[in-house]
Amino acid sequence: MVLLPKSKYLDFLSQFGVGGAHPGGINLTKEIFRSENISNTSHLLDVGCGTGQTAAYLASSYGTNVTGIDINSIMVAKAKKRMKKNNLPVKIIHGSIEQTLLPDHKFDFIISESVLSFVNKPKALKEIFRLLKDGGRFIAIEFTIKRPLEAKIEQEIKQFYGFDSFSMKKDWITLFKHAGFKNIRIQKNKSISSVPEYHYSKEIEPELYELMEKHYDMNLKYEDVLDYRVYSCTK
Ligand SMILES: C[S@@+](CC[C@H](N)C(=O)[O-])C[C@H]1O[C@@H](n2cnc3c(N)ncnc32)[C@H](O)[C@@H]1O
C-alpha cells in the first residue's frame, strides 16, 4: 500500500488565519442570512467556524446566541481571540462535527461554510440533524462538482485539499434526504465575492507559502469542475 502525504491545506488556512475561507466569503454569508428569520433569541451553530468571522458577524449583527465548533486548534484559538477582542459572547468549541457532546435539539440554525467536503458527510449530517430543533434550518455553502471526475483528477484534488469526498448536486440532495432533512432548496452560484481576511500566526511553516501558490494554481486549473451551491433545508 502506498502511503500518500497528509494534506497541509488546513494548516495553511489556520496558520495564515484565513477568514471567510468559503466561496463567496462573508458577503455571500450576509446575503444568505438577510432572508432567514433570525432573532436575538435564536440559537445558531457555525460548523467548522474557522477563525470565527461568520460567527462574530451573526452575533454582532443579529444579537443571536452563537456557538462555533472547529477541529483545528489554531482556528479555535484565533476564533476565541476574535470573540474576546470584540467582546462577543460566542462560545467556541474544539471538536469534530462528526460527533459532539452538544445536546439534541439545541439550535434553530446550523450553518456550514465549506466544511462538509473535509468530513464524513453522512456522519456529520446525522449529527447536524440531531442538534437542530424541529423546524430548524440547516444552511450549507459547499463544493459541488459539475460532473463525475476522472479518477486521476479526483485523487489530485482530494489529496491536495484533504477532501473526504466530492458530491454533485444530486448526491447532496440524497445525503440531505438520508439524514432526514426536508424542503431542500438549492441556490445557484451567485458570483458574489469578498476579500478574505488574514490573521497570521507568528511563525508560519515555510512550505505553506508554496502551498498557497499551489492552491491558487489548483483553483484556476479546476475552475470548470469545482463549483459550489448554497443548500438550505429544514428538520
Ligand atoms: C475551508 S475552512 C472554512 C472555515 C470557515 N467556515 C470559513 O468559511 O472561513 C474548513 C474548516 O472546517 C474545519 N473542519 C474540518 N473538519 C472538521 C470537523 N470534522 N469538524 C469541525 N470542523 C472541521 C477546518 O478546521 C476549517 O476551519
Tally of domains within the chain: 1
What's the confidence (pLDDT) of residue 226? 87
For residue 69, report the distance from its CA to the centre of ligand 1, in Å. Answer: 8
CA of 28 to the centre of ligand 1 (A): 17
CA dihedral 40, 14, 189, 149 (to 10 degrees): -140
User: What's 182's domain CATH number?
Assistant: 3.40.50.150
* pLDDT of amino acid 225: 86
Alpha helices in the chain (DSSP H): 9-16, 25-34, 53-62, 73-85, 121-131, 151-161, 169-179, 207-221
Distance 115 CA to ligand 1 centre (A): 5
In a domain, 143, yes or no: yes
Give me 93's grid cell.
468549541
The pLDDT tens digits for 86-111 are 999 999 999 999 999 999 999 999 99
Q: Specify the pLDDT at position 4.
A: 63
Quick check: is 230 in a domain? yes
User: Is residue 116 included in any domain, yes or no?
Assistant: yes
pLDDT digits (tens, 9 = 90+) for 165-187: 999 999 999 999 999 999 999 99
Ligand 1 pocket, residues with Cβ under 6 angstroms: 10, 13, 19-22, 48-50, 53, 69-72, 75, 96-98, 113-115, 118-119
Q: Answer yes or no: is 4 within a domain.
A: no
Q: What CA–CA distance (Å, rounded) separates 157 from 206?
A: 22
Question: Which pLDDT does position 193 carry in this prediction?
Answer: 80
- The string of pLDDT tens digits covering residues 33-46 is 999 999 999 999 99
How many whole angstroms from 37 Cα to the centroid of ligand 1?
A: 25
Please identify every stretch of the chain with a pLDDT value under 70, giving residue numbers as ranges: 1-4, 189-190
CA distances 24 to 28, 109, 127, 145, 228, Å, are: 5, 20, 26, 16, 9
**The pLDDT value given to residue 40:** 94
DSSP 18-38: -BS-STTHHHHHHHHHHTS--
For residue 119, the enclosing domain spans 9-234
Extract the C-alpha cell encoding 139: 444552511
Q: Is residue 60 part of a domain?
A: yes
Q: Please indicate, yes or no, if residue 57 is contained in any of the structural domains.
A: yes
Nearest Cα to Cα of residue 205 among 20, 75, 14, 50: 14
Residue 1 counted as domain residue: no
User: Across the chain, what does the average pLDDT equal?
Assistant: 94
Q: At what angle do helices 9-16 and 207-221 cross, to 10 degrees?
A: 110
Testing ligand 1's pocket by substitution, the residue of 11, 71, 121, 218 carrying the most ligand atoms inside 8 A of its CB is 71
In a domain, 95, yes or no: yes
Q: How far apart are CA 156 and CA 162, in angstroms?
A: 10
Residue with cell 431542500: 184
